Structure formats: structure tokens, C-alpha cells
């Protein structure tokens, strides 16, 4: 990470992803104890992240080093399906923040760094200047985040829906706890 930039680690209670057609961007909102962090992703950035989530093997809840890569991938797919099924997408996002550490408008993300720390995946979002934010997601929240990102990108018509996406998951709203 560039020394002139820092990223607030957000121990989020809720995450919300929404598409803003006027801006042609995705707004990511994460809140915790009256604070709300906002970050905007462009189409280019969202497509890069979607591709990364599809192609990269991240730690799973039950990662086992003795498994072959394709076995780990299958285990991850099973965990992802279960986590998405159990995630709470029905509870409305609690938009009652009184403090916006990155400003009410949020930041326009220019760069994302991904780090793994044990089973946590840290998504470090950095603007061109100033402070950024870090989402530290355990596997179940990462799966929900990936799912929400895909749904928002489909709604924005940036991606086509996958046939499996319509099975057993709520269409909206798109937030996880």
C-alpha cells in the first residue's frame, strides 16, 4: 500500500451494494455503530473484481491443505452455496448513520488491493488521494459480497445472469450482515 494512503478497517454490521444509473457506478456502503463508509466502484473496477472472484481461490471456512486444488474449489462452491442460502438479504439496510468517516459522498475507488489473513479476505479500497477503506470478510461474508456484486452487476446490465443465480435466492434488496 502506498505510504501516503491509509485505509479505515470497517468492522461492518451491514454491507449494501447498489447501482446508480446516473453515475453508472456501484455504491458500496458498510456501517458499524453509527458510522457509514461509502465507496464507489466503476464498471471497469467491478468487472475486474468479478473476474478475480471467479478465477482466484480464496480461503474457505473449511480449507484443508491436503486437498487437491479442484477439491478445494468444489468445497468452496459448496460453502458458497450454503452461505448465500443462509445470508439475510431480506432485512433492510439500516441507513441511520450519524458519522461518515470518508465523507457523505464517499470515495471513488481507483485501486483495490486484496490480502488474505488466515481465512479473512481483506478488500482494501483506495482513492486517488486520501483515506480508503478495508472490508475484512470471513468466508461467509465474502460469499455474500460476491453474490451481491454479481446481482448488482446483472441489474446494471454489466453481466449476464448465470442460470444457477435464480435458484433459491432473493432478488432484492442486496445487503448482508
What's the pLDDT tens digit per position in 126-150?
999 999 999 998 888 888 898 899 9
Q: Judge contact between 17 and 175, C-beta under 8 A.
A: yes
Q: Judge contact between 148 and 176, C-beta under 8 A.
A: yes
Residue pLDDT, tens place only, 18-72: 999 999 999 999 988 788 999 999 999 999 999 998 887 776 766 555 666 666 5
* Whole-Å CA distances, 68 to 65, 71, 73, 139, 149: 8, 5, 9, 19, 28
Nearest CA-CA partner of 115 in 3, 7, 5: 7
Domain ranges of the chain: 7-176
The whole-number pLDDT of residue 53 equals 86
Q: Decide the pairing of beta strands 25-32 and 35-41.
A: antiparallel
* First-last CA distance in the chain: 28
Amino acid at each position: 500500500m502506498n505510504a501516503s494512503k491509509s485505509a479505515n478497517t470497517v468492522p461492518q454490521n451491514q454491507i449494501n451494494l447498489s447501482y446508480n444509473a446516473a453515475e453508472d457506478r456501484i455504491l458500496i456502503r458498510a456501517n458499524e455503530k453509527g458510522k457509514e463508509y461509502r465507496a464507489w466502484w466503476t464498471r471497469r473496477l467491478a468487472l475486474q473484481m468479478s473476474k478475480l472472484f471467479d478465477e482466484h481461490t480464496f480461503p474457505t471456512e473449511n480449507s484443508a491443505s491436503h486437498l487437491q486444488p479442484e477439491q478445494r474449489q468444489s468445497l468452496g462452491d459448496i460453502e458458497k452455496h450454503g452461505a448465500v442460502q443462509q445470508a439475510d438479504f431480506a432485512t433492510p439496510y439500516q441507513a441511520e448513520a450519524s458519522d461518515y468517516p470518508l465523507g457523505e459522498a464517499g470515495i471513488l475507488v481507483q485501486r483495490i488491493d486484496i490480502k488474505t489473513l488466515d481465512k479473512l479476505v481483506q478488500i482494501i479500497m483506495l482513492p486517488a488521494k486520501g483515506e480508503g477503506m478495508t472490508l475484512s470478510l470471513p468466508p461467509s461474508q465474502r460469499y455474500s459480497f460476491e453474490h451481491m456484486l454479481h446481482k448488482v452487476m446483472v441489474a446494471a446490465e454489466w453481466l449476464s445472469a448465470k442460470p444457477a443465480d435464480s435458484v433459491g435466492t432473493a432478488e432484492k434488496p442486496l445487503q448482508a450482515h
